């Protein structure tokens, strides 16, 4: 190229060279946008991947890609089918419950439910270890694992009853916590598990386990424990309540009567009315007795066993119920 041509080229105005630069920038931007769109599309596909459960209730299946928003089917107890191979299910049980794959954990929890319902004898030797993993699943931040673990607790309560008492404490704490939280579907499952517990475990064994939680610093946990305590006492029956001690029970109920939450206070009122009925049936003075009726009255019993303020509160509740009954009749 001649010297003149080079000189002419170098003296071209900057504005004449801009279209070339602009075209290159546009091309690069288009390429970047296409790559971004492709990435976003792949992310949308992955996020849309669901975990489906076959109709036969077997393990959830990952339908492709990294699971973003996942759904699993929660199988009701009456819809659970038996395991295909008991030996394999039992052999892989603890390892599956300890897995880092949450889908495998949910699948194994359902197998634990099947074993409890259909083959409870074969799992009895490891039920303590199973409950330890249940507690771990209830602490899991993933709601699917938590709820499946709670449903497993329900089936295990129904299957093993009093055989769980030595392993109950950590599981009870978690169920009380989950029944008092804000996630409705987890809360409802936990309340169902607590009902299964109070209907399956003997009251004489369960009441001492519940007693400490009546003084928990969290009022919602106290309320759930109060409901369980009341429900368990009602299962004792008249003779069981007398044996356990009406004096001890009335002190517990009176302490809950002024609790923060209405759920706890209502449980205390229900318990006090039951205690009053049992007391009056068992202290009905005989016609030949020389003792004046007031010495064995419900009012006298409350005043002897409670502080003046608590006795007044208890009598206010029970007298109001009695007056309401008389007016209603």
Model confidence pLDDT, tens digit, residues 187-206: 999 999 999 999 999 999 99
Domains in the chain, CATH or no CATH each: 61-201 (1.25.10.10)
Q: Which pLDDT does position 289 carry in this prediction?
A: 52
Least Cα distance to 60 among 26, 16, 96 occurs for: 96
CB within 8 Å of 226: residues ≥ 6 apart: 214, 256, 259, 263, 264, 267, 268
Tens of each residue's pLDDT in the chain, 329 residues: 444 444 444 444 444 444 444 444 444 444 444 434 443 343 333 333 334 333 334 444 333 333 433 568 899 999 999 999 999 999 999 999 999 999 999 999 999 999 999 999 999 999 999 999 999 999 999 999 999 999 999 999 999 999 999 999 999 999 999 999 888 999 999 999 999 999 999 999 999 999 999 999 999 999 999 999 999 999 999 999 999 999 999 999 999 999 999 999 999 999 999 999 999 998 875 555 555 555 689 999 999 999 999 999 999 999 987 765 544 54
- Percent helix, strand, coil in the chain, to 5, is 75, 0, 25
Contact in structure between 150 and 138 (CB atoms under 8 Å): yes
Q: State how beta strands 51-52 and 61-62 pair.
A: antiparallel
CB within 8 Å of 270: residues ≥ 6 apart: 230, 234
Task: Give backbone dihedrals phi and psi of 52, rounded to 5 degrees, phi first.
Answer: -105, 155
- Give the side-chain half-sphere CA count within 13 A for 105: 23
């Amino acid at each position: 190229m001649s010297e003149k041509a080079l000189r002419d080229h170098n003296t071209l105005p900057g504005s004449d060279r801009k279209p070339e630069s602009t075209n290159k920038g546009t091309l690069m931007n288009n390429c970047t946008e296409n790559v971004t769109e492709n990435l976003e599309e792949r992310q949308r596909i992955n996020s849309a991947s669901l975990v489906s459960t076959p109709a036969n209730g077997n393990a959830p299946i990952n339908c492709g890609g990294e699971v973003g928003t996942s759904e699993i089917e929660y199988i009701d107890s009456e819809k659970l089918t038996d395991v295909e191979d008991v030996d394999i299910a039992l052999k892989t049980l603890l390892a599956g419950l300890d897995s880092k794959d949450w889908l495998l954990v949910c699948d194994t929890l359902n197998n634990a439910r099947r074993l409890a319902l259909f083959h409870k004898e074969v799992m009895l030797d490891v039920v303590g270890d199973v409950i330890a993993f249940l507690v771990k699943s209830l602490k899991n931040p993933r709601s699917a694992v938590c709820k499946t673990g709670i449903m497993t607790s329900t089936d295990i309560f129904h299957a093993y009853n009093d055989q769980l008492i030595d392993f109950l404490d950590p599981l009870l704490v978690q169920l009380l916590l989950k029944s008092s939280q804000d996630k409705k579907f987890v809360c409802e499952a936990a309340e169902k598990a607590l009902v299964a517990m109070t209907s399956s475990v003997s009251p004489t064994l369960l009441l001492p386990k519940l007693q400490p939680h009546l003084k928990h610093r969290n009022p919602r946990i106290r309320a759930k424990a109060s409901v369980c305590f009341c429900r368990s006492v009602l299962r004792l029956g008249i003779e069981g309540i007398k044996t356990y001690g009406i004096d001890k029970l009335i002190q517990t109920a009176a302490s809950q009567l002024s609790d923060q939450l209405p759920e706890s206070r209502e449980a205390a009122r229900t318990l006090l009315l039951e205690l009053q009925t049992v007391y009056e049936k068992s202290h009905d003075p005989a016609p030949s007795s020389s003792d004046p009726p007031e010495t064995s009255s419900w009012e006298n019993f409350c005043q002897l066993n409670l502080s003046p303020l608590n006795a007044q509160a208890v009598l206010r509740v029970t007298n109001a119920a009695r007056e309401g009954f008389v007016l209603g009749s």
